[in-house]
Copies of this chain bind each other. A is one copy, B any other.
Amino acid sequence: MRVWVRPAFLYLCRMASIKPSVPKGTRDFSPAEMAKRNFIFDTIKGVFRKYGYQQIETPSMENLSTLTGKYGDEGDKLIFKILDSGDVIEKTDIAKLLSKNETNDWANIQPIGLKEIFGGFTTKSLLKQISEKALRYDLTVPFARYVVQHQNEITFPFKRFQVQPVWRADRPQKGRYREFYQCDADVVGSPSLLNEAEFIIIYDEALCLLGLKDFSIKINNRKILSGIAQVIDKHDNIIDMTVAIDKLDKIGFDGVVKELLERGFRQEDIDTIKPIILLEGSNDEKLNSLRAALQNSEIGLRGCDEIQTVFDYVAACKPLTAKLELDITLARGLNYYTGAIFEVKTNEVAMGSIGGGGRYDDLTGMFGLKGLTGAGISFGADRIYDVLEELNLFPQSAEQSTQVLICCFDEQGEKYGLPLLQSLRSQNTSAELYPAGAKIKKQMEYANNKQIPYTVLIGSDEMESGLLTFKNMENGEQEKLSVNDILKRVKK
């Protein structure tokens, strides 16, 4: 009997020790991590606000019809769909249909699984019946939906920022999550290039405040790319062209030429755009070369003018910490950007882009509101987190929650400490009293683990003299202080 019981017992123990977990691609954020994330988000939000951007929030779930068809076929597959509710399936009692089934052998059918059952249906008609909602895939489409839905309440130009999680059924991998925060600012209803200039300044200011010292803000303009394609009559091959040119650093000019030829460009095309591929020098020099090369393209010249205007606005406002670089290989979001294209990179750590954006001329068109121009930028919060961590740029204060821990040996000390505790909090000093009954060693460990900078010890000597032991947890120094002196010492 015992032989039989034992494995079951072990099994139960094993069961109990299986730790619960989170779904793959998702994360918990501990207090230390939250403090650092708040430092990033609060900094960026503060800059957004200073530049007149206002926060909105949209629901985590949108109607499936709002989202589908907006992210391309690949994107659509990555949208997390939500089951209408348990009820939809639960309340039914049928098998009418299935009574026609020859075997009707449910025990055998069941394990074969849903895939088989769904075989004859088209995915779309099926999904419509069990799911009408989905999780937000980005902040841009919900923002477009918001603008159209609330167009009569909104004052244009509408400058909004939004910091919320988005969800993608991507294959989880290092640095890629299924739930992650996006941090966007957009303006709609204003064609002024001052907006583009301010986005550059916002990037500069926010990243400086976060402690970055060496980073680049790259700018391009879709109209310049259109102009290049125009002068060689290759309107449809902009992306091929840009992808090839983008490799200049890695494969050199000869490599780029080879790739362009492979992608169907002619030698004469390449001769024409050679000065563009080999674009070098200051932004002014690049613009001059571009103007020469694009002299026969009206749209190309317009792109050059726009970039110049943005540069002039920035110069009129303030000197940047960032390197502001015209980079005509920059082609992110080529499907929807119609004017400026931005990308931000740090030069201190090897890391992909930590921000990007651009101008789009028809964001709200997908929901029936035509002709509303907009521009926006996004901060890559997770990557910025990794950069600050690697460069050790998080301020220590970001992690401190409690400023003072009052420690006592017994209930008498606890009682003695309560008025001090409340006085600390009254002057807005975050404070805790470790409830009576624990050893002082444990209380000190608590203070250390929570990075609490000061502790106050209340023993019988302290209560008699009225001078409490005040300990600096960083350097270990102790002194005897009155309650009033303690209050003054820790007041910020």
Contact = CB atoms under 8 A, between A and B. Distances in A.
Interface in A416-444: 418-419, 421-422, 425-426, 428-433, 435-437
Q: In the complex, which of the residues A17, A55, A125 has the most CB atoms of chain B within 10 Å of its own CB atom?
A: A55
B77 A89 contact: no
Interface string A141-181: 00001101110010101011000010101000000001100
A477 interface: no
Contacts of A317: 418-419, 421-422
Contacts of A86: 76-79, 81, 123, 127, 169
Contacts of A112: 97
Contacts of A119: 92-98
A38 B45 CA distance: 12
User: For the complex, would chain A's binding face be called helix, strand, loop or mixed by DSSP majority?
Assistant: mixed
Nearest to A414: B194
A89 B18 contact: no
B62 A22 contact: yes
Interface residues of A, number: 132
B123 A26 contact: no
A57 B15 CA distance: 26
A103 B98 CA distance: 11
B126 A121 contact: no
Q: In the complex, which of the residues A38, A81, A88, A95 has the most CB atoms of chain B within 10 Å of its own CB atom?
A: A81
Contact of A23 (B133, B318, B414): B133
A195 to B, nearest CB: 7
A13 to B, nearest CB: 10
Given A51-B430, A52-B401, A120 B100 contact: no
Contact of A56 (B30, B132, B414): B30
B123 A97 contact: no
A83 interface: yes
Given A22-B58, A116-B96, A428-B50, A81 B83 contact: yes
A54 B79 contact: no
Interface string A62-84: 11001000000000111111111
